Amino acid sequence: ETGVTQSPTHLIKTRGQQVTLRCSSQSGHNTVSWYQQALGQGPQFIFQYYREEENGRGNFPPRFSGLQFPNYSSELNVNALELDDSALYLCASSLDLPRHTDAFFGQGTRLTVV
Amino acid sequence: GQQVMQIPQYQHVQEGEDFTTYCNSSTTLSNIQWYKQRPGGHPVFLIQLVKSGEVKKQKRLTFQFGEAKKNSSLHITATQTTDVGTYFCAGLNNNDMRFGAGTRLTVKP
């Protein structure tokens, strides 16, 4: 167990809806990164939060947004869901940026958009 | 933009054989990390390489970082059935972390 927990583990949404995914980082870690992993692909970096500020963003549209709280837990919000958003969403926590040093991944949230 | 290519996509070996996966970046990297993901699981951090030409070993696993910090390899000696999974490299450049597509390893007992 890594100490990084994500909720929910599975989710089914309809195209056009909005979704919020949650991540509790490992104790002592102040950096959370979010990734999208499509089936059979490597994780794609969405964005990273460090001490409640966004620090780095991958090639994802603005309808992907996030938040980090004072306790360093984080949320990923996706608006206007599309079928291609179906994927495993992973969060990883680490201590200090920008090196993504020793990132520990949660078990992921599998999102299905129908 | 930065691209990270990983080969081969799949590798099937007999137990006891060696295995190598290669990772190449289009840009110079600050560091490279390797992860293992079991089927249905999440990526598990294996190691991070930072220095040019760095070589690190973990039991039967040997990790190398190229002199130009644009390529890396993971070599497993005498594979075991417990080695099955997908191995990903992830390269960091200017806080942009890019994963390779992974090499899926299967091991026949």
Q: Could you tell me the pLDDT band of residue B90, with boundaries at 50, 70 and 90?
A: very high
How many Å lie between the alpha carbon of B96 and the closest alpha carbon of chain A?
7
- Find the length of chain B: 109
Q: Do B48 and A107 touch (CB under 8 A)?
A: no
pLDDT score recorded for residue A70: 93
Count other Cβ atoms within 10 Å, centred on residue A10.
10
Q: Do A105 and B45 touch (CB under 8 A)?
A: yes
Residues of chain A found within 8 Å of residue B96, distances taken between Cβ atoms: 45, 56, 58
pLDDT score recorded for residue B1: 67
Note whether A43 contacts B: Cβ–Cβ < 8 A. yes
Q: Do B98 and A45 touch (CB under 8 A)?
A: yes
Contact between B9 and B104 under an 8 Å Cβ cutoff? The reply is: yes
The values of phi and psi at residue A14, to 5°, are -95, 145
- Please tell me the distance from the alpha carbon of residue B74 to that of residue B85, in angstroms, as a whole number: 13
Note whether A59 contacts B: Cβ–Cβ < 8 A. yes
Q: Could you tell me the pLDDT band of residue A12, with boundaries at 50, 70 and 90?
A: very high
pLDDT score recorded for residue B105: 98
Which one of A45, A50, A54, A91 would you mutate to disrupt binding with B, by most B Cβ within 10 Å of its Cβ? A45
Out of B35, B42, B95, closest to residue A108 by CB: B42
Average pLDDT of the residues of chain B: 94
Q: Do B33 and A100 touch (CB under 8 A)?
A: yes
Q: What is the pLDDT of residues B18-35, one digit of tens each?
A: 999 999 999 999 999 999
* Strand pairing report for A109-113 and A10-13: parallel
The full set of domains in chain B, from first to last, is 4-108 (2.60.40.10)
Q: What is the pLDDT of residues A90-102, one digit of tens each?
A: 999 988 765 556 7
Average pLDDT of the residues of chain A: 91
Residue A2 predicted with pLDDT over 70: no
What the block records as the tokens of B28 is: 């110079």
Cα–Cα distances in angstroms (integers) from residue A12 to residues A15, A17, A20, A41, in the given order: 10, 10, 12, 20
pLDDT score recorded for residue A27: 82
Residue B80 predicted with pLDDT over 70: yes
Q: How many CB pairs under 8 A join A and B?
A: 60
Residue A75 predicted with pLDDT over 90: yes
pLDDT score recorded for residue A100: 55
Contact between B62 and B75 under an 8 Å Cβ cutoff? The reply is: yes
> Which of A28-32, B65-69, B91-95 is the least confident region?
B91-95
Q: Do A97 and B95 touch (CB under 8 A)?
A: yes
- Find the length of chain A: 114
- Please tell me the distance from the alpha carbon of residue A113 to that of residue A36, in angstroms, as a whole number: 14
Residue B4 predicted with pLDDT over 80: yes
For B80-87, which contacts have Cβ atoms below 8 Å and span 24 or more sequence positions?
B80/B15, B80/B107, B81/B15, B81/B107, B81/B109, B83/B19, B83/B107, B84/B38, B84/B39, B85/B36, B85/B37, B85/B38, B85/B39, B85/B41, B86/B36, B86/B37, B86/B39, B87/B21, B87/B34, B87/B35, B87/B36, B87/B37
How many Å lie between the alpha carbon of A32 and the closest alpha carbon of chain B?
13
Residue A37 predicted with pLDDT over 80: yes
Average pLDDT over residues A64-69: 96
Out of A42, A107, A108, closest to residue B102 by CB: A42
The 3-class SS string of chain A reads: CCCCEEECCEEEECCCCCEEEEEECCCCCCEEEEEEECCCCCCEEEEEEECCEEEEECCCCCCEEEEECCCCCEEEEECCCCHHHCEEEEEEEECCCCCCCCCEECCCEEEEEC
Q: Could you tell me the pLDDT band of residue B72, with boundaries at 50, 70 and 90?
A: very high
Residue A58 predicted with pLDDT over 80: yes
